[in-house]
Amino acid sequence: MHTVRIYTDGACSGNPGPGGWGAVLINDSLRKEISGGEARTTNNRMELTAAIEALRRLKTPCKVDLYTDSAYLKNGITAWIASWKLNGWKRRVGKRLLPVKNADLWRELDRLASIHRVTFHWVAGHAGDPENERADELARSAIPSG
Protein backbone atom coordinates (compact mmCIF):
# COMPACT_ATOMS: atom_id res chain seq x y z
CA MET A 1 0.00 0.00 0.00
CA HIS A 2 1.40 3.37 -1.04
CA THR A 3 1.78 6.14 1.52
CA VAL A 4 0.68 9.59 0.38
CA ARG A 5 0.83 12.95 2.13
CA ILE A 6 -1.86 15.40 1.09
CA TYR A 7 -2.07 19.09 2.00
CA THR A 8 -5.36 20.84 1.25
CA ASP A 9 -6.81 24.31 1.48
CA GLY A 10 -9.84 26.29 0.39
CA ALA A 11 -10.32 30.01 -0.10
CA CYS A 12 -13.14 32.42 -0.86
CA SER A 13 -13.36 36.04 -1.91
CA GLY A 14 -16.41 36.86 0.17
CA ASN A 15 -18.29 34.12 1.96
CA PRO A 16 -20.28 33.24 -0.04
CA GLY A 17 -18.51 34.38 -3.15
CA PRO A 18 -16.10 33.08 -5.76
CA GLY A 19 -13.87 30.39 -4.28
CA GLY A 20 -10.94 28.13 -5.00
CA TRP A 21 -9.41 24.97 -3.65
CA GLY A 22 -5.92 23.55 -3.85
CA ALA A 23 -4.11 20.38 -2.88
CA VAL A 24 -0.57 19.05 -2.91
CA LEU A 25 -0.14 15.25 -3.13
CA ILE A 26 3.26 13.76 -2.28
CA ASN A 27 4.33 10.12 -2.62
CA ASP A 28 8.07 9.50 -2.22
CA SER A 29 9.65 11.63 -4.94
CA LEU A 30 6.39 12.17 -6.85
CA ARG A 31 4.47 15.39 -6.40
CA LYS A 32 1.19 16.54 -7.91
CA GLU A 33 -0.52 19.89 -7.44
CA ILE A 34 -4.21 20.31 -8.26
CA SER A 35 -6.70 23.15 -7.95
CA GLY A 36 -10.06 24.40 -9.11
CA GLY A 37 -12.68 27.00 -8.40
CA GLU A 38 -16.35 27.86 -8.38
CA ALA A 39 -18.12 31.13 -9.16
CA ARG A 40 -20.32 31.12 -6.03
CA THR A 41 -19.49 29.01 -3.02
CA THR A 42 -18.33 29.15 0.60
CA ASN A 43 -14.96 28.70 2.23
CA ASN A 44 -16.14 25.51 3.97
CA ARG A 45 -17.29 23.98 0.67
CA MET A 46 -13.88 24.74 -0.84
CA GLU A 47 -12.08 23.14 2.13
CA LEU A 48 -14.15 19.96 1.66
CA THR A 49 -13.76 20.01 -2.11
CA ALA A 50 -9.97 20.18 -1.82
CA ALA A 51 -9.91 16.99 0.27
CA ILE A 52 -12.42 15.24 -2.00
CA GLU A 53 -10.58 16.09 -5.20
CA ALA A 54 -7.24 15.03 -3.73
CA LEU A 55 -8.60 11.64 -2.63
CA ARG A 56 -10.24 11.18 -6.06
CA ARG A 57 -6.79 11.38 -7.67
CA LEU A 58 -5.57 8.24 -5.86
CA LYS A 59 -5.84 5.30 -8.25
CA THR A 60 -5.51 2.52 -5.65
CA PRO A 61 -6.20 2.30 -1.91
CA CYS A 62 -3.47 4.18 -0.05
CA LYS A 63 -2.34 5.06 3.44
CA VAL A 64 -2.97 8.80 3.53
CA ASP A 65 -1.88 11.53 5.89
CA LEU A 66 -4.13 14.47 5.01
CA TYR A 67 -3.16 17.86 6.43
CA THR A 68 -5.67 20.71 6.63
CA ASP A 69 -5.81 24.06 8.37
CA SER A 70 -9.60 23.76 8.54
CA ALA A 71 -10.92 22.78 11.97
CA TYR A 72 -14.32 22.37 10.27
CA LEU A 73 -12.94 19.68 7.94
CA LYS A 74 -10.85 17.92 10.60
CA ASN A 75 -13.56 17.93 13.29
CA GLY A 76 -16.33 17.10 10.87
CA ILE A 77 -14.71 13.97 9.47
CA THR A 78 -13.15 12.73 12.73
CA ALA A 79 -15.63 13.75 15.45
CA TRP A 80 -19.01 14.89 14.14
CA ILE A 81 -19.75 12.63 11.17
CA ALA A 82 -20.63 9.54 13.21
CA SER A 83 -23.52 11.32 14.96
CA TRP A 84 -24.63 12.97 11.71
CA LYS A 85 -24.94 9.54 10.11
CA LEU A 86 -26.81 8.13 13.14
CA ASN A 87 -29.20 11.10 13.01
CA GLY A 88 -29.91 10.74 9.27
CA TRP A 89 -27.50 13.53 8.25
CA LYS A 90 -28.92 15.92 10.79
CA ARG A 91 -27.02 17.84 13.47
CA ARG A 92 -28.23 18.60 16.95
CA VAL A 93 -28.70 22.29 17.75
CA GLY A 94 -30.07 22.51 21.27
CA LYS A 95 -33.03 20.15 21.25
CA ARG A 96 -33.60 20.42 17.51
CA LEU A 97 -32.19 18.39 14.66
CA LEU A 98 -31.26 20.49 11.62
CA PRO A 99 -29.86 19.34 8.26
CA VAL A 100 -26.09 19.03 8.12
CA LYS A 101 -24.63 21.84 6.02
CA ASN A 102 -22.71 20.59 2.97
CA ALA A 103 -24.08 17.06 3.46
CA ASP A 104 -23.46 16.26 -0.22
CA LEU A 105 -19.74 16.90 0.23
CA TRP A 106 -19.52 15.19 3.63
CA ARG A 107 -21.09 12.04 2.13
CA GLU A 108 -18.59 12.01 -0.72
CA LEU A 109 -15.64 12.66 1.58
CA ASP A 110 -16.82 9.85 3.85
CA ARG A 111 -17.12 7.49 0.87
CA LEU A 112 -13.65 8.33 -0.44
CA ALA A 113 -12.03 8.16 3.00
CA SER A 114 -13.45 4.65 3.45
CA ILE A 115 -11.49 3.45 0.40
CA HIS A 116 -8.18 4.50 1.95
CA ARG A 117 -6.57 4.49 5.39
CA VAL A 118 -6.77 8.22 6.01
CA THR A 119 -5.46 10.03 9.06
CA PHE A 120 -6.58 13.64 9.18
CA HIS A 121 -4.20 16.18 10.73
CA TRP A 122 -4.85 19.80 11.62
CA VAL A 123 -2.05 22.31 10.95
CA ALA A 124 -2.06 25.99 11.78
CA GLY A 125 -2.72 28.07 8.69
CA HIS A 126 -0.23 30.71 7.59
CA ALA A 127 2.29 29.41 10.13
CA GLY A 128 5.13 28.64 7.73
CA ASP A 129 4.44 25.00 6.77
CA PRO A 130 5.65 25.11 3.15
CA GLU A 131 3.17 22.54 1.80
CA ASN A 132 0.22 24.14 3.58
CA GLU A 133 1.33 27.51 2.22
CA ARG A 134 1.52 26.03 -1.29
CA ALA A 135 -1.99 24.56 -0.99
CA ASP A 136 -3.18 28.03 0.07
CA GLU A 137 -1.48 29.61 -2.96
CA LEU A 138 -3.11 27.08 -5.27
CA ALA A 139 -6.55 27.72 -3.74
CA ARG A 140 -6.23 31.49 -3.95
CA SER A 141 -4.98 31.41 -7.53
CA ALA A 142 -7.94 29.22 -8.54
CA ILE A 143 -10.57 31.75 -7.39
CA PRO A 144 -12.46 32.84 -10.52
CA SER A 145 -12.22 36.55 -11.22
CA GLY A 146 -15.16 38.71 -12.15
- Decide: 36 and 21 in contact? Cβ < 8 Å: yes
Examine the residue annotation and report whether 10 is marked as an active-site residue of this protein.
Answer: yes
Catalytic residue from among 9, 38, 53, 131: 9
> Which residues are within 8 A (CB) of 139 and not within 5 positions of it... i.e. 6 or more apart?
9, 10, 11, 20, 21, 22, 35, 46, 50
Catalytic residue from among 28, 88, 126, 128: 126
Half-sphere exposure for 43 (CA within 13 Å, toward CB)? 12
Examine the residue annotation and report whether 47 is marked as an active-site residue of this protein.
Answer: yes
Beta-strand relationship, 30-41 and 17-27: antiparallel
Catalytic residue from among 38, 53, 131, 136: 136
User: Phi, psi (5° rounding) for residue 109?
Assistant: -60, -40
Examine the residue annotation and report whether 69 is marked as an active-site residue of this protein.
Answer: yes
Catalytic residue from among 69, 76, 116, 131: 69
User: Phi, psi (5° rounding) for residue 39?
Assistant: -70, -35
Examine the residue annotation and report whether 36 is marked as an active-site residue of this protein.
Answer: no
Catalytic residue from among 20, 37, 47, 131: 47
Just list the catalytic residues: 9-10, 47, 69, 126, 136
